Amino acid sequence: MTDAGSLRSARASPGQVQCFAQADKLEEREADDQLLARGSFADSFTLGELLGIGSFGKVYRAVSKAQPGQDFAVKIVPKHREGVLDERIARRIHEEIETLKMLQSRPEAVQLLGVFEDEDQVCIVTELCLGGDLEHFLKDYGSMTEAEAAHAAHDILQVLAECHRQGICYADVKPANFLLKRPYSRQAHSSSDSSAPSRVLEIRVGDFGCSQRLQKKEKLNKRTGTPLYMAPELFMRYYGVESDQWALGIMMYQLLSGHLPFWDEQSDRSPFAVMSAILSKEVCYSGPEWEGISDSAKNFVASLLDRDYNSRMTAAEALEHPWITAHCSEDGCSVANNVVQLKGRNLRLSKNH
């Protein structure tokens, strides 16, 4: 894209919205398409409360004027920032929108409903997720059960596998970027009520602002993402989609144990200390927080936290891992802790620091 002032591939003219409904969902999206009519964002929506703040924009609730009670989320991204070229900002916004469009076949990716643009900002309208994110989940519950973690991993992997199939590196896997579609109550989902939903968690993958595209066998050299979740190869500035899998391994360790693998609250988290730990520190699966966690779960995490990206478990392989298949299926998620036979990969676990 060469024009810094417009996102021509994402809309038809300034202030006009373009909807991205898919053919097989036209009936389902008909009401939404009517909501996102031509005009400015303010013509169709009232801006609601602030939901979150990111590096490149803020997310608000968007309340429909045409149909009260129909709420969405809107990410508002300024087109001008001090010290940043307008062309660079426009390119970043364009790439985020295009990436979202490419992933609309996956229901686990946040659904893109339209884009408004004026001279100063771009408004990206998506489905509204009211359950918070996995970072807040950890603050509320401390850690996840194996069933919860397996289902979260399953939904995230569905999107990562599609990203990687299309040559997209998500590049910022971390709990804050994975949303719960609806409020979650562990007590409600652990009950014996047969009317309770079969799925433990309903995850949406959002915030594709750091994602990068690459050609087959191409490697990236620009560091992006959150340092604590960076793969070893990022520090060498020679990485690909495999780096997403390492970051997922860090996050899964965190979801299961309640803390990160290399650091506690007192650890030195200076840039050099973080890099050194990621490159060489042993991963520990002992301690009271790991008691009762199955070897299958530990193997899943260890297969992701492989410092050799050539042998690291891919997203497609992870979806077929016995720990995932024991808990999850296309019909839903089982809350039982099934006993499975580990196949294909040897356990690579450390009993001591």
Q: Is residue 9 part of a domain?
A: no
Q: Kindly state whether residues 148 and 196 are assigned to the same domain.
A: yes
Query: Can 207 be counted among the known catalytic residues?
Result: no
Q: Which domain holds residue 109?
A: 14-126
Taking only the tens place, the pLDDT of each residue in 63-73 is 988 888 889 99
Q: Kindly state whether residues 250 and 212 are assigned to the same domain.
A: yes
Q: What is the three-class DSSP state of 243?
A: helix
Instruction: Tell me how far apart the alpha carbons of residues 49 and 66 are, in angstroms, rounded to a whole number.
Output: 19
Q: Kindly state whether residues 156 and 37 are assigned to the same domain.
A: no
Q: Kindly state whether residues 65 and 147 are assigned to the same domain.
A: no
Q: Is residue 349 part of a domain?
A: no
pLDDT at 123: 92
Q: Is residue 98 part of a domain?
A: yes
Q: Is residue 104 part of a domain?
A: yes
Examine the pLDDT at 31 and tell me if it is beyond 80.
Answer: no
Q: Kindly state whether residues 150 and 282 are assigned to the same domain.
A: yes
Domain C-terminal end among 126, 142, 160? 126
| Residue 97's CATH number | 3.30.200.20
Q: Kindly state whether residues 38 and 122 are assigned to the same domain.
A: yes
| Residue 302's CATH number | 1.10.510.10
Q: Kindly state whether residues 160 and 278 are assigned to the same domain.
A: yes
Task: Exactly one of 172, 207, 244, 306 is catalytic; name it.
Answer: 172
Q: Kindly state whether residues 45 and 67 are assigned to the same domain.
A: yes
Bridge partners, 117 (sequence order): 122
Q: Kindly state whether residues 104 and 175 are assigned to the same domain.
A: no
User: 103: which 2 tokens?
Assistant: 């992933």
Instruction: Provide, rounded to the nearest whole percent, the portion of the chain with pLDDT above 70.
Output: 78
Q: Kindly state whether residues 200 and 237 are assigned to the same domain.
A: yes
Taking only the tens place, the pLDDT of each residue in 254-302 is 999 999 999 877 788 889 999 999 999 999 999 999 999 999 999 999 9
Nearest to 239 by CA among 263, 201, 212, 264: 212
Q: Kindly state whether residues 228 and 251 are assigned to the same domain.
A: yes
Taking only the tens place, the pLDDT of each residue in 320-335 is 999 999 998 654 543 3
What's the structural domain count of the chain?
2
Q: Is residue 4 part of a domain?
A: no
Q: Is residue 88 part of a domain?
A: yes
Bridge partners, 144 (sequence order): none
Q: Is residue 346 part of a domain?
A: no
Q: Residues 29-63, buried b or exposed e (16+ Cβ, 10 A)?
A: beebeebbeeeebeebbeeeeebbeeebbebbbbb
Q: Kindly state whether residues 201 and 328 are assigned to the same domain.
A: yes
- Nearby residues of 143 by Cβ (< 8 Å), 6 or more positions away: 255, 256, 257, 258, 289
pLDDT at 18: 40
